[in-house]
Amino acid sequence: MSATVTSKGQVTIPKPVRDLLGIVPGTRVDFHRAADGTVVLTRADEKRPTSRFSKLRGHAGEGMSTDAIMALTRGDG
56 part of a folded domain: yes
Tell me how many helices (H) and strands (E) the chain has.
2, 2
Instruction: Report which of residues 50 and 22 the model is more confident about.
Output: 22
Around Cβ 18, how many Cβ atoms within 10 Å? 16
Q: What average pLDDT score do residues 51-71 get? A: 77
Count of residues in the chain = 77
Spatial neighbors of 47 by CB under 8 A, at least 6 apart, are 22
Residues 29/42, Cβ–Cβ less than 8 Å: yes
User: Could you give phi then psi for residue 72, rounded to 5 degrees?
Assistant: -65, -40
pTM over 0.75: no
Say what the pLDDT of residue 13 is. Answer: 93
Domain extent, residue 68, equals 15-74
In this structure, is residue 8 part of a structural domain?
A: no
State mean pLDDT over 17-38: 91
Tally of structural domains, the chain: 1
What pLDDT score does 31 carry? 92
Residue 20 lies in a domain: yes
